[in-house]
Structure 1
Amino acid sequence: MPSRRKFFKAAATTSAVAVATLAMPSIAKAATTLKVQAAWGGGIFLENANNYVKRVNEMSGGSLKIDLLPVNSVVKTSQMQDAVHRGVLDGAHYVPAYWYGKSAAASLFGTGPCWGWSANEMLGWIHYGGGTALFNELMGSLGLNVVSFFNSAMPAQPLGWFKEQIKKSSQMKGLKYRTVGLAADVLGEMGMSVVQLPGGEIQAAMKSGLIDAAEFNNPTSDSDFGMQDVSKHYHLASFHQSQECFEITYNKKKFDGLAPELQKILEYASEAENSNFFWHNTLRYAD
Structure 2
Amino acid sequence: MKTNITKTEGAVKQSRRKFLKAGGLAAAAAAGTVAMPNVSRAQTVTLKLQSSWVAADPFSDMAQQYVQRVNEMAGNRLKIDYLLGGAVVHPFSVQDAVHNGVIDATHTVPVYWYGKHKAASLFGTGPVFGFNAEQGLGWIYYGGGKELYKELIDDILKLNIVSFFSMPMPTQPLGWFKKPVRSAADMKGLKYRTVGLAADLMQVMGAAVAQIPGGEIVPAMERGVIDAFEYNNPTADRRFGAQNVAKNYMLGSYHQATEYFEIMFNKQKFNSLPKEHQAILQYAAEAASSSNYWYAMDLYSKDLQELKEKDKVNVLRTPKDVFEAQIKAWDVLIEQLGKDPYMKKVMESQKAWAKRVVYYETMNAADYVTAYEHHFGKMEG
TM-score (norm 1): 0.90
Instruction: Please tell me whether the aligned partners of residues 52 and 92 of structure 2 are also in contact (alpha carbons under 8 angstroms).
Output: no
Unpaired runs of 5+ residues, structure 1, are 1-13
C-alpha distance in structure 1 between counterparts of 2:137 and 2:234, whole Å: 23
Cα distance, 1:29 vs. partner?
2.1
Match of residue 65 from structure 1: 79
How far did 1:91 drift?
0.6
Of 232, 256, 278, which aligns to 1:263? 278
Mapped contact 2:153–2:159 kept (Cα < 8 A): yes
AA partner of residue 163 (structure 1):
K
Which residue of structure 2 lines up, in the alignment, with residue 103 of structure 1? 117
- Higher strand fraction (1 or 2): 1
Shift of 1:171: 2.4
Q: Partners of 1:155 and 1:283 in 2: how far apart?
A: 12
- Asked if residue 83 in structure 1 is aligned to residue 100 in structure 2, the reply is no
Gaps (5+ residues) in structure 2?
1-24, 303-381
- TM-score, structure 2 as length reference: 0.68
Say which of 245, 256, 259 aligns to 1:241: 256
Of 36, 40, 51, 2:49 maps to: 36
Counterpart pick for 2:178 among 163, 167, 173: 163
Query: Whose helix proportion is higher, 1 or 2?
Result: 2
Cα distance in 2 between the residues matched to 1:57 and 1:158: 34
In structure 1, C-alpha distance between the alignment counterparts of 2:301 and 2:175, rounded to whole Å: 18
Aligned residue pairs total: 269
Counterpart in the other structure of 1:46: 60
Aligned-partner SS, 2:47: strand
1:266 Cα deviation from its structure 2 partner: 0.3
User: 1:146 is matched by which residue type in structure 2?
Assistant: I
For residue 137 of structure 2, what is the aligned residue in structure 1? 123
Q: Tell me how far 1:27 sits from its aligned partner.
A: 5.3
Q: In the alignment, residue 206 of structure 1 is paired with which amino acid?
A: M
**Residue type matched to 1:34 in 2?**
L
% of aligned pairs identical? 53
| Cα distance between partner residues in 2 of 1:265 and 1:27 | 22
Distance 2:230 2:301 in 1: 19
1:92 corresponding residue in structure 2: 106
What does residue 219 of structure 1 align with? 234
Whole-angstrom distance in 2 between the partners of 1:115 and 1:221: 27
> How far does residue 169 in structure 1 lie from its aligned partner after superposition?
2.0
> Which letter does structure 2 place at the counterpart of 1:138?
L
Give distance in 2, aligned partners of 1:29 and 1:228. 51
Give me the whole-angstrom Cα distance separating, in 2, the residues matched to 1:232 and 1:203: 13
What amino acid maps onto 1:134 in structure 2?
A: L
How far apart, CA to CA, are the structure 1 residues paired with 2:142 and 2:134? Answer: 12
Provide runs of 4+ in structure 1 moved above 4 Å.
Answer: none
Give the Cα–Cα distance (whole angstroms) in 2 for the partners of residues 62 and 226 of structure 1: 40
SS in structure 2 at match of 1:144 = coil
Structure 2 distance, partners of 1:218, 1:127, is: 25
8 Å CA contact 2:50–2:87 kept in 1: the answer is yes
The match for 1:272 among 281, 287, 290 is 287
3-state secondary structure, aligned to 2:39? coil
The separation in 2 between residues aligned to 1:217 and 1:104, in whole angstroms, is: 20
For residues 185-224 of structure 1, what are the structure 2 equivalents within 5 Å?
A: 185-224=200-239
Partner of 2:269: 254
Q: Measure how far apart 1:103 and its partner are.
A: 1.1
- Over the residues paired in the alignment, what is the CA RMSD in angstroms? 1.8
Q: How far apart, CA to CA, are the structure 2 residues paired with 1:284 and 1:169?
A: 30
Q: Which has the larger radius of gyration?
A: 2
